[in-house]
Each structure stands twice: as C-alpha cells, then as structure tokens.
C-alpha cells in the first residue's frame, strides 16, 4: 500500500469517527472552509449557488446531504426537502431542459428502515421523480457502498419504467462495474461514472489508485462506445483528457455526454470546459450533514486534500 492509499483509508476511517467529527465541526475555521465546498445548510443557499453556476454556462445537480436513515420521520423530511428544493428551482426557472437536476441517495429516503425500507425509499423517490418531471428536469440515483448496489440498480429499473431519464451512478473501483457498464450502455441510459468514495474490502474492489484509474478508463470506453449518455465524474486532468479522446474516437457530439465535478473543486477548469462548448455539470451538496461527505470526497482522490487545505489558507 502506497502513501496515497494509506491516506485514503485513513480519511475513510475518519468519516465514521463521531468524536473527531465533533471537534472538526466546532472548530471556527471549519465552517469557513466547508462553505467553499458546501454552499450552506438551507435551501436558499443552494438555489443561489445553482443560479450562479447557471449564469456561468454550467449545469448542476444538487444533493441534500444525509444517508443511512433509520428513522421514518427523517426519511420523510429528506423527501420533503427535495420536494421543496425542486419547487424553488422550478420557480426560479432553473430546471428547464435539465439545467439543474437532483441526486438522491436511497438510504436517505428510508432504504435501511426495517421491514419495508426498500418500498418506502422507492415510493419517496417516485414522488421526487414525478415533481422533477413536472419541473422539466430529472433525477440521478447516487450509488453507495457495495452492499446496496443491486438494490439501487433494481430501484433504477423500476423508476425508469415511468421516468426513463433517471440516471445511474457506477463506481469504477468495484470489480463488477465493467459488466454493469455494459448492461447500462444502451440508448436513453444516463450513467455517471465515478471512482468510488466508500471503504470497500479487497474482495469486491480495487485497492490501489492505479488499478482504480485503469478500471475507470475501461469502463469509460464501454460507455463512450455505447448508445447511452455518459457523465464523466472526475477532477483528474488525465482522465478528463482521456474522456475527450474517447468521445472523439466514438464520434460523439458534445451534447451526447457531459463532464461532472464537485462544487468548489477546480472551478476555473469547470468554466474552461464549459466555455469550450462541452457540457459541465457541478455536483452541489447542501445541508447540515457535511462531515461525512467532506471526508469521503478527500478520500476519493487524496489530491483533493490539497484543494481543501488551500481553502484554509486562501479564499481566492
């Protein structure tokens, strides 16, 4: 295990440490740094951020932070947060033609609830998808740890029966993902390919960063050569360049795929990609549950640590 892999594993462990979370959340500098990457806790904060991004020619997808919900009231609260968010976005004229969409975690909608958790989460997701459709936009189902992959893909199939534009997320660090890409590289299918941000065992996932990168390229090649709509979620300049080359080799129109990056990371590169005529979508998280999100984003690519540390030193 090299230094970057050790750092990644350490950060994933930190994402679950409640005592450390309490210390970091109470540190005065944390809030100012976090605001660079999470625009705020309230709906107005994220709608304002989405408006600024739209004005710069970029698209966006919004995630209301929270997962592993084991309380039905919290699951309903998350559903209601998305309903209110989509209503506000529609009223601001931000949802037309999918300019701003939303990303959902099924665990936040009640998937882990005892008994009928899967059915509850799916019903909540349907309500959100219906409102998104009415608003002129769509939904992407975020992927979580490997134990929920099949459940999420099952939910995807059910939702797509009524809402065919619902997007999927696949994680390149899982061994199974090449096969999943082949299954989902069909016409009308929207697939966000990311590296993966959860701590997974060696039995199901590549552990070394170099192996994850190689898997990402193999998966991306399948998606670019398919008939679906690839969404290239990476900040890695080399992978972004490879994505453009693969799109060119496949004869893809710039409107037939998009790049995605996280809010607050490489914003100037995001604008450059949009300005050259390619589609760039920004993943914007908001809400109180920012700690786990922040740690997993740093772990996903240890170089992201430098972006966050620069946030401590500068506001530029």
- Which residues, other chains included, contact 143 with Cβ-Cβ below 8 Å and sequence gap of 6+? 149, 152, 168, 169, 170, 171, 194
Reading the block at residue 183, the tokens are 């299954």
- Contacts of residue 166, defined as CB under 8 A and 6 or more positions apart, other chains included, come to 129, 138, 139, 140, 141, 156, 159, 160, 190
Strands 258-262 and 229-233: parallel
DSSP letter assigned to residue 184 = H
Catalytic hit among 58, 63, 90, 142: 142
d(CA 152, CA 314): 39
| Residue of 115, 300, 271 lying closest to 196 (CA atoms) | 300
Tokens matching residue 227:
């008939």
Six token digits for residue 49: 């951020």
Catalytic residue among 58, 192, 281, 296: 192
The tokens of 45 are what?
């904060």
**Catalytic residue status for 297:** no
User: Residue 165: beta bridge partners?
Assistant: none
Instruction: Please provide the distance, in angstroms rounded to a whole number, between the alpha carbons at the two ends of the chain.
Output: 35
**Sequence-separated (6 or more) residues with CB below 8 Å from residue 80:** none
* Annotation marks residue 276 as catalytic: no
Residue pair 280/260 in contact by the 8 Å Cβ criterion: yes
What is d(CA 294, CA 27) in angstroms, rounded to the nearest whole number?
15
Q: Whose CA is closest to 146, among 125, 169, 167?
A: 169
In whole angstroms, give the CA distance from residue 162 to residue 88.
Answer: 24
Tell me which residues are annotated as active site: 142, 192
């Amino acid at each position: 295990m090299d230094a970057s892999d050790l750092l990644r594993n350490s950060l994933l462990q930190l994402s679950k440490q409640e005592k450390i979370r309490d210390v970091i959340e109470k540190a005065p500098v944390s809030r100012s740094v976090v605001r660079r990457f999470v625009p705020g806790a309230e709906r107005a904060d994220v709608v304002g951020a989405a408006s600024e991004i739209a004005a710069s020619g970029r698209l966006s997808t919004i995630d209301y932070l929270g997962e592993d919900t084991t309380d039905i009231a919290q699951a309903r609260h998350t559903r209601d947060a998305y309903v209110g968010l989509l209503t506000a976005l529609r009223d601001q004229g931000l949802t037309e033609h999918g300019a701003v969409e939303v990303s959902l975690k099924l665990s936040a909608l009640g998937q882990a609830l005892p008994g009928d958790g899967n059915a509850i989460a799916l019903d909540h997701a349907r309500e959100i998808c219906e409102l998104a459709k009415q608003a002129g936009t769509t939904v992407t189902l975020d992927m979580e740890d490997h134990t929920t992959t099949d459940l999420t893909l099952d939910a995807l199939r059910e939702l797509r029966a009524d809402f065919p534009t619902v997007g999927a997320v696949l994680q390149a660090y899982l061994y199974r993902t090449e096969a999943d890409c082949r299954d989902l590289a069909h016409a009308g299918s929207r697939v966000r390919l990311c590296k993966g941000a959860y701590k997974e065992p060696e039995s199901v996932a590549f552990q070394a960063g170099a192996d994850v990168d190689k898997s990402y390229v193999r998966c991306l090649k399948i998606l670019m050569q398919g008939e679906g709509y690839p969404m290239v979620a990476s900040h890695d300049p080399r992978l972004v360049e490879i994505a453009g080359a693969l799109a060119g080799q496949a004869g893809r129109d710039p409107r037939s795929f998009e790049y995605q990056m996280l809010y607050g990371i490489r914003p100037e590169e995001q604008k450059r990609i949009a300005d050259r005529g390619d589609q760039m979508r920004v993943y914007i998280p908001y809400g109180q549950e920012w700690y786990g999100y922040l740690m997993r984003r740093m772990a996903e690519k240890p170089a992201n640590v430098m972006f966050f540390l620069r946030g401590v030193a500068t506001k530029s």
